[in-house]
Structures are given as structure tokens and as C-alpha cells.
């Protein structure tokens, strides 16, 4: 089966895709289960930085490649290809991309010049702190406070279920600086070595390397220059980040599923039952045909979303569709691959069971299926709202 290749403005996309597929196969795949037991080494972040995958949404003057080979489509390519080797590496792509995109909006050199180039090179790890205990999809209801005190902002509150809570260096923190609702939320760049910051990683059955957990801000003082954008104007930035990242999540899931399907195709061609390869059984081949079609459709939808983002066009509906369809189809495909391998599909010698567990985690992360459907319905019908 021919691999679908996205078409974009940069003629080097094919080379970029091939380079990342080799890196995923040769450098990431063997260690995929390892990071369930051990911390992910910072040296690997530097390797990813050298590949250029963290600077795709940043301008060249800060070390990025936006407009010169970068953009949302190549970020999607990176997510799909690297996830073939190690699905959880896609979290680094997501959070580094969001962090650099948000921090480039700052007018302050302490933010733009200190943090953005370091994130791009893989020398610093960024996190995104919006969710709070009891406040997930209803993001406009956050209660973490930011109060101006002289030349500083003082931030207090708890952020929960934060990716890289346990190991990030800097955080994009959304806090309430004004009245209720979306209009009272501001964004701050908060270095996580400041006094008053503490964190707690929560054990998880999936994606150990993400160090997901809570970050606590106990009267943390940040300079006024670390306010990113205008006061009270951060909610739109948060929602924009969600929109493009939902397509990145979809492609990460698709990459893991496509790799699983590729491996399973080879398995059923080689496995003999009753004197015939499994691939000759319609009960097997038809299953694979259906999942190949579903994964292909999810991939196309994700890249359509990213092309709209690259053109600066609205892509809320497409992003929600991708975030629902990509993980759903991928979970179903990987589950089928496990079953078609028989008992070996559940064993630790193969990555299938870990992929299934990890991909299922992103059916929830960045918005549940129900939230995605409510967005699609709201956009189409104008009668359902969640924000």
C-alpha cells in the first residue's frame, strides 16, 4: 500500500518525513517501553531539538523555521512519524510547540529571548497550565489568581493534570487577573524554579514520561514583563492552542495505529493456519481493510485541519472532528491488531498493548469525545455550547 504523503508549500516535506521515520525506527522504537520505568533523558530532548521539530511554529530570529520550512503541516508530519517509534514522544512536540507559540507573543526579551530559543533547542521543557481541580473542559471557570503588586504579579492556586508537571522548566500559566468568565484570564510565563512553586507527579498507567500531575503556586512572584499578551486576553490564545493541537494529537494516534497495522500486515502474511497464510482469510483481511480506510480518513482530516491553520483560517470544527475521530479509529485499529496477533499481541515483546494503553489516554486528554461532539454540534447547529 502506498503511503499517503501530505502536499505543502515546502519541497523538502518528503525528506523531512523520511528523516523522522528513520529516527523513530532507529532511535526511538527500541526504548519505547523503557520510559515506563525510567525518566526520559534530557539528552534525547537535545536530539529532537537538533532535528528541528521544536521550532516549527517559531520565527527564524528566535531559532525557528516558521515560514521557512516550518508550520502546522510539518508539525503534524513530525507527530505522525515520531509516534510510529514512540507514541509518547509526541507529548514533547505538543507542549514545546504550544510553549513557543505562546511565548513568542511576549514583548519582553526575558521571555522571548531566554525561553523560546532554549525550548527550540531542547534545552528547556515547557508545560501548559490551564486545567485545575474540578475545572477541565469548562476552562473559563479557572480560579487560580494573579494579583498585581508593584512591578510584580503574584500568582496563587493549583493546576492539575498538567503534562510535564514533574519535570518542566517553564510553564505557560493561565490565571484570573480580573472578573469572572473568559475575559478575566491572563497568561504568564512562569519559570518553575521560582520560590513558592511546588509540584507533584501522579502515578499513571500510561505515558510515564509525561510526569503528569499538579503544580502549586503559593504567592509566586513574577515580573510584570512575564505577562504574555494583554491582561485579560489569554482565553482566546488557550483555545487557539487547543485547536491546532487537537490535530497533532490525531496524527500522533494515527502514526501509532498505522505502524501497528503495518506490523500486523506482515504478521498475517507470514502466519500460517491450516496450510494458508492468515492474510488469505476474509475475516482477517477485511478487518485490516476497514481499519486502513478509517486511519486514512482520520489522517486526511487532520492534515486538512493543519492546512487551514497554516492559512490562518478558522478550523474549530475540523480540529474537534480530528480529535474525536483520530483516537477513536486508532484505538479500534490497534485493538484489532492485538487480537490478530493472538496471545503474543498482549505480550511485552511487542509494543501493541502499550500503544493501545497510551493512545486511549488521548481519547481524554485535550477534550473528551463528548466535548468534541458538542463543539461540532455547536458549530453546525448553533445550539450547543461548552465555552
The pLDDT tens digits of the residues spanning 173-222 come to: 999 998 888 889 999 999 999 999 999 998 877 778 899 999 999 999 99
* % of the chain with per-residue pLDDT over 70: 95
In whole angstroms, what is the distance from residue 138 CA to residue 132 CA? Answer: 10
CATH number of 13-124, picked from 1.10.3080.10, 1.10.540.10, 2.40.50.140, 2.60.40.10 = 1.10.540.10
pLDDT tens digits for 271-313? 988 999 999 999 999 999 999 999 999 999 999 999 999 999 9
Residue 360 pLDDT exceeds 70: yes
User: Could you count the other beta carbons within 10 Å of the beta carbon of residue 273?
Assistant: 11
Region of 270 please: left (phi>0), alpha (psi -120 to 50) or beta: alpha
Looking at the domain 127-232, which fold is it?
Answer: Butyryl-CoA Dehydrogenase, subunit A; domain 2 (2.40.110)
- Local confidence band at 6 (pLDDT 50, 70, 90 cut-offs): very low
The whole-angstrom distance between residue 268's C-alpha and the CA centroid of its chain comes to 32
pLDDT for residue 383: 66
Beta bridge partners of 129: 173
Decide if pLDDT at 9 tops 50: no
Exposed, middle or buried: residue 105 (CB in 10 Å: 0-12, 13-18, 19+)?
A: middle
Query: What is the C-alpha R_g of the chain?
Result: 21
pTM: 0.93
Cell for 185?
484570564
CATH of domain 236-381: 1.20.140.10
pLDDT at site 319: 97
Q: Give residue limits of the domains in the chain.
A: 13-124, 127-232, 236-381
pLDDT bucket at 366, cuts 50 / 70 / 90: confident
Amino acid at each position: 500500500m502506498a503511503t499517503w504523503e501530505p502536499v505543502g508549500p515546502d519541497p523538502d516535506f518528503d525528506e523531512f518525513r523520511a528523516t523522522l521515520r528513520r529516527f523513530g525506527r532507529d532511535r526511538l522504537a527500541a526504548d519505547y517501553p523503557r520510559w515506563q520505568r525510567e525518566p526520559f533523558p534530557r539528552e534525547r530532548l537535545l536530539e529532537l531539538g537538533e532535528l528541528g521539530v521544536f521550532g516549527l511554529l517559531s520565527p527564524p530570529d528566535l531559532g525557528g523555521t516558521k515560514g521557512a520550512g516550518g508550520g502546522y503541516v510539518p508539525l503534524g508530519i513530525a507527530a505522525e512519524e515520531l509516534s510510529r517509534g514512540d507514541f509518547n514522544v509526541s507529548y514533547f512536540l505538543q507542549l514545546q510547540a504550544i510553549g513557543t507559540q505562546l511565548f513568542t507573543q511576549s514583548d519582553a526579551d526575558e521571555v522571548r529571548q531566554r525561553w523560546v530559543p532554549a525550548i527550540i533547542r531542547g534545552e528547556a521543557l515547557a508545560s501548559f497550565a490551564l486545567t485545575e481541580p474540578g475545572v477541565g473542559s469548562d476552562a473559563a471557570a479557572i480560579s487560580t489568581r494573579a494579583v498585581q503588586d508593584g512591578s510584580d504579579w503574584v500568582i496563587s492556586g493549583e493546576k492539575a493534570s498538567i503534562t510535564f508537571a514533574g519535570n518542566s522548566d517553564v510553564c505557560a500559566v493561565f490565571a484570573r487577573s480580573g472578573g469572572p468568565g473568559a475575559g478575566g484570564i491572563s497568561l504568564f510565563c512562569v519559570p518553575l524554579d521560582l520560590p513558592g512553586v511546588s509540584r507533584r507527579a501522579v502515578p499513571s498507567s500510561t505515558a510515564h514520561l509525561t510526569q503528569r500531575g499538579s503544580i502549586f503556586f503559593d504567592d509566586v512572584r513574577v515580573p510584570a514583563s512575564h505577562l504574555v499578551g494583554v491582561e485579560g486576553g489569554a482565553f482566546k490564545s488557550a483555545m487557539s492552542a487547543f485547536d491546532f493541537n487537537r490535530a497533532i494529537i490525531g496524527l500522533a494516534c494515527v502514526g501509532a495505529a498505522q505502524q501497528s497495522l503495518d506490523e500486523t500486515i506482515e504478521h498475517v502474511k507470514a502466519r500460517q493456519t491450516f496450510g494458508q497464510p492468515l492474510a488469505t482469510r476474509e475475516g482477517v483481511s477485511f478487518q485490516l481493510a476497514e481499519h486502513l480506510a478509517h486511519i486514512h480518513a482520520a489522517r486526511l482530516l487532520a492534515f486538512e485541519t493543519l492546512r487551514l491553520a497554516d492559512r490562518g483560517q478558522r478550523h474549530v470544527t475540523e480540529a474537534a472532528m480530528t480529535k474525536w475521530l483520530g483516537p477513536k479509529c486508532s484505538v479500534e485499529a490497534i485493538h484489532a491488531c492485538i487480537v490478530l496477533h493472538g496471545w503474543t499481541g498482549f505480550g511485552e515483546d511487542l509494543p501493541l498493548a502499550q500503544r493501545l494503553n497510551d493512545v486511549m489516554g488521548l481519547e481524554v486528554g485535550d477534550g473528551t469525545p463528548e466535548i468534541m461532539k458538542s463543539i461540532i454540534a455547536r458549530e453546525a447547529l448553533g445550539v450547543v455550547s461548552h465555552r
